[in-house]
């Protein structure tokens, strides 16, 4: 009794720690692109939501659940992410239950601890998506699978529960089929051996000696009935899933398979921040994993070992074979439970002998302490922060003017933008079609004419606008005045064309290759916060092998830099390596005069430098720049 109470106390302490780690800073970060889609789906009624989900690559269970949840809890960032945190907590509990059923409470507690402290698990516990739910359902399914095999509980209820949970798993995310495939492989192994599993947990030396509870054929019938139920329940949605899965473009990985396996192992063993904090922990995890992967007692107890290897191996092999990018590691979250259980099995194997027990305890303690110490970098390091759309939208709202407009790429960005955006400036989702480039150019040109300034947010534009028609049109017909990255979000500002002053003939020779024929400015007297626009006309004497950047700089009377704008010609749409000899390149640039800049006289200078080396400037008459104009700056207008 005391021993049972001790294990219960340890489990409760671990669950409290896991909860604290998952609820810590749960709403500190902005929602990102995928979470914006989740927020929009949760706000829709059922008749609106179902047709949208039928053309979504994700199956509907999570979104339907969250729609009901937000009706009660609201749609704040905390409310949207709370279900994921709770599902992740269930994953910790299921890891303990599975480990205890397979190899005893010590193995269960070790596996649960390795899930509880894993930052890969914590990351998706703090995301309003279905992946934490997927992992929890996978753990629940495996618990019922083991119960069905052993014949524990009421047979009919177990069969129905197992079938319903597997159906829920597929309705949560189609990759749950990999979990079911691992179960099928285990059942198939029994059929080949014609030996049912024991109804008792094994000892550390092999399978327990108690007689089998059921025959192989009884197991097969129950397993078949349960999965027939799951498949029948999923049949109505199967055509939609197949259509979406096979219509998706190939997202080939950029890493070779050996590096991909290292990334997967790091996430499974340590978490998302493994590259920063692993150190010698690889050795510790490697020892436990090696012990856990050994087929001890395979002649009688191998089904437990095979179940974990099949669950883990099938998921990893599928991931590598499909050449998915690291973005899709989230599909492997259920397999992280199998990895933790294999480590728990390693502890169970090393436990009987005094020396190996001591080594196992030290290895587990070192692993857990290393994971715990690494969580500070996980919570604070910029590599693990989601794209700050919240901060970006607030920044845009703070500088919006009555004649401004907002353009964004990717259909899902409209959902995320609408979650945070509370301004009156019009918003435009572009491109409206991936196939009609002329229509897109016309739309962009029309928007440029409507607004004095445009705020543009690009995300995944290579997928939405593979020929970059939107950006190319903006670069050729407007003046780019700023360009910066916010995580994976790219934020640009453009000023619309305005009347320019008379062009000034220059004929300046930059180096031996490039000539600036003339330039025109919009003004030589501006107020703080206004835009200085320049149109430059270039040509090259011959084809160029170097990418050059154009630098516009505003200097005060003492020659101190107060504003600067660097860009490749035409915003990168006409790089110098693509110039043909004698071809005239019309290049538009913008520079914002800082709002708080003191009134006075300033100089606008221009230079050209190699993109790979900012100090390698092309000389003009023995100088590294030319002066375009004196600029008079007045106080910013209120």
- Residue 209 pLDDT: 43
Mean pLDDT computed over 118-139? 98
Within a domain: 135: yes
300 within a domain of the structure (yes/no): yes
pLDDT score at 210: 42
Cα–Cα distance, 559 to 603 (Å, whole number):
8
Per-residue pLDDT band for 305 (boundaries 50, 70, 90) equals: confident
Q: What is the spatial distance between Cα 570 and Cα 550, in angstroms, rounded to a whole number?
A: 10
Pairing mode, if any, of strands 453-458 and 504-510? unpaired
* Same domain, residue pair 181 and 324: yes
pLDDT at 358 (0 to 100):
83
The reply to whether 422 and 520 lie within a common domain is no
**For 429-468, what is each residue's pLDDT tens digit?**
998 888 888 999 999 999 999 999 999 999 887 778 888 9
pLDDT of residue 279: 56
Query: 591 and 555, same structural domain?
Result: yes
**Residue 49, pLDDT score:** 87
Query: pLDDT tens-digit profile of 500-547?
Result: 999 999 999 999 999 999 999 999 999 999 999 999 999 999 999 999
Whether 139 and 169 map to the same domain: the answer is yes
pLDDT at 323: 83
Say whether both 209 and 295 belong to one domain.
yes
**Residue 140: pLDDT over 80:** yes
Higher local confidence (pLDDT), 111 or 323: 111
pLDDT for residue 67: 94
Query: Are both 482 and 509 inside the same structural domain?
Result: no
Which strands form 479-486's sheet, in the order they lie side by side? 427-429, 404-408, 453-458, 489-495, 479-486
Question: Which DSSP string do the residues of 311-340 spell out, in sequence order?
Answer: HHHHHHHHHHHTT--GGGGGGGHHHHHHHH
Residue 560 lies in a domain: yes
Boundary of a domain, candidates 469, 495, 521: 495
Chain segment 360-398, per-residue pLDDT in tens: 788 788 888 888 888 988 999 888 899 999 999 999 999
The whole-model pTM stands at 0.88
Same domain, residue pair 457 and 443: yes
Q: What is the pLDDT of residue 300?
A: 45
Banded model confidence at residue 207, pLDDT cuts 50, 70, 90: very low
Residue 475: give its domain's CATH number. Answer: 3.30.110
Domain of residue 568, residue span: 504-634
| Strand pairing report for 404-408 and 427-429 | parallel
Least trusted range by pLDDT, from 86-95, 152-161, 205-214, 357-366: 205-214
Q: Does residue 208 surpass a pLDDT of 60?
A: no
Length of the chain: 638
- The whole-number pLDDT of residue 507 equals 95
In a domain, 176, yes or no: yes
Backbone angles phi, psi at 604, to 5 degrees: -100, 120
Q: Which residues have CB under 8 Å from 382's CB, separation 6+?
A: none
pLDDT at 154: 80
Q: Is the domain of 465 the same as that of 515? A: no
Would residue 45 count as lying in a domain? no
Detail the DSSP E strand segments found in 409-530. 427-429, 453-458, 479-486, 489-495, 504-510, 514-521, 525-527
- DSSP H or E run through 524: none
N- to C-terminal Cα separation, the chain: 76
> Which CATH number goes with the domain that contains 532?
2.60.40.3880
- Looking at residue 206, what is its pLDDT? 47
- Please, what is the average pLDDT of the chain? 88
pLDDT value of residue 462: 75
Same domain membership, residue 260 and residue 279:
yes
User: Where among 360, 384, 408 does a domain terminate?
Assistant: 384
Residue 178 CB neighbours (<10 A): 22
pLDDT reading at 4 higher than 80: no
Closest to 495 in 3D by CA, of 572, 585, 408, 592: 592
Rounded Cα distance between 256 and 265, Å, is 14
Q: Do 308 and 402 lie in a common domain?
A: no
Query: Looking at the structure, do residues 298 and 400 belong to the same domain, yes or no?
Result: no
* Whether residue 427 is found in the same domain as residue 285: no
Of 384, 401, 416, the residue that ends a domain is 384
Q: CA dist 526 to 499, 551, 554, 592, 636, Å?
A: 14, 20, 12, 10, 9
Of residues 244 and 573, more confidently modeled:
573
- State what percent of residues in the chain have pLDDT above 70: 89
CA distance 192 to 214: 16
What confidence tens digit (pLDDT) does each residue in 405-430 have?
A: 999 987 678 888 889 998 889 999 99
Domain count, the chain: 3
């Amino acid at each position: 009794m005391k021993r049972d109470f001790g294990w219960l106390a340890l489990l409760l302490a671990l669950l409290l720690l896991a909860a604290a780690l998952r609820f810590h800073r749960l709403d500190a970060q902005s929602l990102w692109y995928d979470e914006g889609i989740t927020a929009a789906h949760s706000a829709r009624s059922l008749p609106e939501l179902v047709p949208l989900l039928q053309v979504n690559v994700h199956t509907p269970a999570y979104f339907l659940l969250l729609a009901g949840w937000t009706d009660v809890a609201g749609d704040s960032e905390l409310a949207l992410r709370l279900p994921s945190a709770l599902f992740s907590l269930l994953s910790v509990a299921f890891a303990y239950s599975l480990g205890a059923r397979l190899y005893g409470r010590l193995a269960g507690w070790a596996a649960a601890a390795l899930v509880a402290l894993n930052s890969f698990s914590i990351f998706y516990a703090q995301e309003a998506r279905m992946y934490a739910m997927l992992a929890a359902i996978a753990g629940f399914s495996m618990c019922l699978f083991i119960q069905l095999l052993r014949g524990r509980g009421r047979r009919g209820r177990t069969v129905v529960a197992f079938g319903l949970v597997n159906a829920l798993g597929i309705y949560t995310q189609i990759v749950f089929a990999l979990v079911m495939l691992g179960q099928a492989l285990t059942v198939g192994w029994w059929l080949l051996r014609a030996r049912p599993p024991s109804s008792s947990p094994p000892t550390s030396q092999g399978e327990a000696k108690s007689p089998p509870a059921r025959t192989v054929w009884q197991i097969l019938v129950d397993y078949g009935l349960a999965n027939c139920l799951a498949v029948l329940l999923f049949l109505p949605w199967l055509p939609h899933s197949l259509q979406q899965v096979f219509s998706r473009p190939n997202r080939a990985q950029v890493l070779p398979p050996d590096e991909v396996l290292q990334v997967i192992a790091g996430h499974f063993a340590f978490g998302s921040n493994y590259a920063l904090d692993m150190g010698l922990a690889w050795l510790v995890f490697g020892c436990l994993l090696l012990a856990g992967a050994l087929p001890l007692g395979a002649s009688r107890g191998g089904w437990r070992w095979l179940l974990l290897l099949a669950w883990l191996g099938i998921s990893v092999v599928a991931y590598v074979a499909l050449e998915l990018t690291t973005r899709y590691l989230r599909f492997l979250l259920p397999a992280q439970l199998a990895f933790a259980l294999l480590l728990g099995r390693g502890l169970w194997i090393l436990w009987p002998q005094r020396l190996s027990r001591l080594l196992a305890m030290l290895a587990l303690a070192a692993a857990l302490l290393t994971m715990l110490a690494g969580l500070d970098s996980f919570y604070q390091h910029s590599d693990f922060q989601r794209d700050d759309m919240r901060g970006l939208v607030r920044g845009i709202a703070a500088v919006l003017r009555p004649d401004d407009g907002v353009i964004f790429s990717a259909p899902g960005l409209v959902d995320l933008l609408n979650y945070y955006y509370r301004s009156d400036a019009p918003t435009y989702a572009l491109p409206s079609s991936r196939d009609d480039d002329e229509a897109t150019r016309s739309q962009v040109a029309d928007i440029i004419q409507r607004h004095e300034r445009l705020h543009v947010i690009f995300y995944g534009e290579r997928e939405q606008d593979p020929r970059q028609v939107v950006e190319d049109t903006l670069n050729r017909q407007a003046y780019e005045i700023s360009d910066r990255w916010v995580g994976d979000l790219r934020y640009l500002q453009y000023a619309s064309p305005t009347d320019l002053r008379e062009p000034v003939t220059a004929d300046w020779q930059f180096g031996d290759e490039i000539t600036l024929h003339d330039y025109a400015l919009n003004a030589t007297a501006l107020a703080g916060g206004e835009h200085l626009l320049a149109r430059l006309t270039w040509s090259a004497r011959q084809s160029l092998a170097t990418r050059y950047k154009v630098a516009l700089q505003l200097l005060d009377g003492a020659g101190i830099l107060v504003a600067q704008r660097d860009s490749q010609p035409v915003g990168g749409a006409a790089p110098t390596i693509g110039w043909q000899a004698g071809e005239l390149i019309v290049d538009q640039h913008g520079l914002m005069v800082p709002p708080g800049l003191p009134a006075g006289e300033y100089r606008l200078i221009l230079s050209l430098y190699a993109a790979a080396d900012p100090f390698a400037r092309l000389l003009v008459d023995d100088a590294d720049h030319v002066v375009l104009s004196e600029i008079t700056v007045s106080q910013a207008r209120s």
